[in-house]
Amino acid sequence: MTETNPTTQRALRILLIVAIGYLALLIGQPAGLDVGRIITDVATTPTNVLQQLVIGLANGSIIVIIALGYTLVYGIIELVNFAHGEVFMLGAFTSLMALSIFTTTTATGGLTAPFWAALLGFIPAMLVCGLLNAGIERLAYRRLRNSPKLAVLISAIGMSFILQNIGLQFGALGKLTQVGPEFQIFQVLGSNNAAPKSFPVVLSTANLLGDFPIRITQADVLVMGTALVLMLTLNWFVQNTRLGKAMRATAQNRDAAAMMGINVDQIIALTFLIGGALAGAAGMMFGLYNGTVVFTMGFTAGLRSFTAAVLGGIGNIRGAALGGILIGLLAAFSDQYLAVRWTNAWVFLILVLVLLFRPTGLLGQESGDKA
């Protein structure tokens, strides 16, 4: 590195940001960045802005819950668990199967399930995904604990391929309905492996605000409420319980934690269990909110949640919450005012910019012990 004086450095940085901004305006056009149209849209239907705020907060809540899983695992073993998005996807499938037990066909041919079934469904989804995630750690990461980080990362990517294929093949169980009526619970999977699966209708889509131009539905309230409860519970657990403190100690210095009598392997497994359980809950929230689940959804959700975790400061629980909400809002506004098919590109751009200019994220990194 050559020494440059700070003023020159700052000037260069400003120049770079201006250049990126200019480029964004230039090539943003095909990506939906049409300032004139956006102004007209906002002026004609200003309530849309608030509507997207609600949608962004709800989707952001789901992203937060997934991002917590990335951030917890990164905090404790400095691994980006690339399989995490797929655990979320399988969580959505588990939720769907849990709901299917209580699913009935309505007069119009649609599928429906009672509200309590959805609440109950969180339990198997969280349990299955928690155990799955802890199992992945045991199988694919633990024996690589002292290997170079790249080895674990590749193992994680391999795991994500395996899980995605499990998701794809899982859909084939829908064919069992052709075997006999005892397999009716699989009717929710439909007859095509790869096709998106519809969640039974559980929540009313009526506007809780009546005729008000902004819609807030039961799904919005449920998703945001659940996310809030999960976040507060996690925060309480990590701050105040004996095991939560052991988790923090292990994250801050693994050797010192072992010297205190903390079984580090168990604490790492517990961290994966909690992260997985959160992903399972997010799967149920996603299904209830968006209505369909598909085996490829782990990738998009993973990308957005990972970006959220990095944006907030990976390893930092509060950072994941902030990042998740911001990414949710960005995605909602991009969907409305830019172009749906470019939303992921914008999210990726955020990821690249954060890594370039502020790799510790907005609230700072909290992992490792370099102090």
Partner 1 sequence: MAILELNDVHSYYGNIHALKGISLNVEKGEIVTLIGSNGAGKTTTLRTIQGLIRPRTGSITLEGEELTRLPAHEVNRRGICQSPEGRLIFPRMTVLENLEMGAFTRTDHSNIGQDLERVFGLFPRLKERVKQKGGTLSGGEQQMLAMARAMMGNPRLLLLDEPSMGLAPLLVETIFDTIVALNKQGITILLVEQNARMALSIANRGYVLQTGEIRLQGDAARLRDDEEVQKTYLGGH
Q: Is 262 in the site for partner 1 (CB under 8 A)?
A: yes
Name the one range near partner 1 by CB under 8 A: 5-13, 113-121, 205-213, 253-261. Answer: 253-261
Q: Are 332 and 346 in contact (CB under 8 A)?
A: no
Q: Is 259 in the site for partner 1 (CB under 8 A)?
A: yes
Q: Is 163 in the site for partner 1 (CB under 8 A)?
A: no
- Listed in sequence order, the residues at least 6 apart from 64 whose beta carbon sits closer than 8 Å to its beta carbon are 227, 231, 308, 320, 321, 323, 324, 325, 328
Q: How far is the CB of 151 from partner 1 (least distance, A)?
A: 16
CA pair distance 84, 362, nearest whole angstrom:
22
Binding residue for partner 1, selected from 48, 184, 207, 252, defined by CB under 8 A: 252
Q: Which of 232, 274, 227 is nearest to 69 (CA)?
A: 274
Q: Which is nearer to partner 1, 247 or 327 (CB)?
A: 247
Q: Is 261 in the site for partner 1 (CB under 8 A)?
A: yes
Q: Which of 128, 135, 69 is nearest to 97 (CA)?
A: 128
Angle formed by the axes of helices 242-252 and 264-290, to 10°? 110
Q: How far is the CB of 275 from partner 1 (least distance, A)?
A: 20
Query: By three-state DSSP, how is residue 197 classified?
Result: strand
Q: Which of 284, 289, 277 is nearest to 118 (CA)?
A: 284
Q: Are 96 and 186 in contact (CB under 8 A)?
A: no
Q: How far is the CB of 244 from partner 1 (least distance, A)?
A: 11
Q: Are 247 and 270 in contact (CB under 8 A)?
A: yes
Q: Are 116 and 189 in contact (CB under 8 A)?
A: no
The number of beta carbons lying within 10 Å of the beta carbon of residue 109 is 6
Q: Which is nearer to partner 1, 23 or 256 (CB)?
A: 256
Task: Show the site string, 308-347: x = touches partner 1 by CB under 8 A, - = not.
Answer: ----------------------------------------
112 phi and psi, to 5 degrees? -140, 160
Binding residue for partner 1, selected from 111, 258, 294, 303, defined by CB under 8 A: 258
Name the one range near partner 1 by CB under 8 A: 9-17, 125-133, 211-219, 254-262. Answer: 254-262
Q: How far is the CB of 70 from partner 1 (least distance, A)?
A: 19
Q: Which is nearer to partner 1, 75 or 275 (CB)?
A: 75
Q: Is 137 in the site for partner 1 (CB under 8 A)?
A: no
Report how many residues bind partner 1 under the rule CB under 8 A.
Answer: 20
Q: Is 369 in the site for partner 1 (CB under 8 A)?
A: yes
Q: Which parts of 188-227 interact with partner 1 (CB under 8 A)?
A: none
Q: Is 371 in the site for partner 1 (CB under 8 A)?
A: yes
Q: Which of 82, 86, 90, 84 is nearest to 69 (CA)?
A: 84
Q: Is 151 in the site for partner 1 (CB under 8 A)?
A: no
Q: Which residues bind partner 1 (CB under 8 A)?
A: 242, 245-246, 248-249, 252-253, 255-264, 366, 369, 371
